[in-house]
């Protein structure tokens, strides 16, 4: 126990946490081969969290276009081949756009921006 060998920890940091948080930390610690202290476990988890690649909240234009292409390809297999071309196109468009009530939902939850 104590400070990890070879690492210099020159700053003290304190924080308040819930019992559930500590239980989760302890559960994670038990799964580690070297059974780190709580402080070392928290340091490791923070380091892991800082190295994880975070996906952007909004997909890039390229990803959005690719998703649209894949959806279109999937929908083409669902449209009745016996339907006239114009009807099949309309059905495909409706499926890709989704129900009208879904298109009306605002991303900001209806909150007005000041």
For the segment 17-73, what is each residue's pLDDT rounded down to a tens digit?
999 999 999 999 999 999 999 999 999 999 999 988 876 677 678 888 888 888 888
The count of residues in the chain is: 114
The string of DSSP letters for 17-69 reads --HHHHHHHHHHHHHSTT---HHHHHHHHHHHHHHSPPPPSSPPHHHHHHHHH
Nearest to 38 by CA among 51, 25, 47: 25
Tokens at 59, concatenated: 């997909």
Cβ-Cβ contacts under 8 Å for 31 (sequence gap 6 or more) = none
Q: What is the DSSP letter of 72?
A: H
10-32 burial, b if ≥16 CB within 10 A, otherwise e? eeeeeeeeeeeeeeebeeebeee
* The pLDDT of residue 102: 66
Given a cut of 90, whether residue 111 has pLDDT beyond it is no
pTM: 0.43
Nearest to 28 by CA among 47, 45, 16: 45
């Amino acid at each position: 126990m104590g400070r990890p060998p070879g690492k210099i920890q020159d700053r003290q940091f304190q924080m308040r946490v819930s019992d559930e948080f500590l239980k989760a930390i302890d559960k994670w610690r038990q799964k580690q081969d070297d059974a780190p202290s709580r402080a070392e476990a928290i340091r490791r988890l923070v380091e892991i969290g800082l190295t994880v690649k975070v996906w952007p909240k909004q997909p890039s234009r390229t990803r959005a276009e690719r998703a649209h292409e894949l959806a279109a390809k999937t929908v083409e297999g669902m449209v009745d081949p016996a339907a006239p071309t114009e009807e099949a196109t309309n059905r495909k468009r409706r499926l890709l756009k989704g129900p009208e009530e879904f298109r009306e939902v605002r991303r900001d939850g209806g909150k007005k921006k000041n």
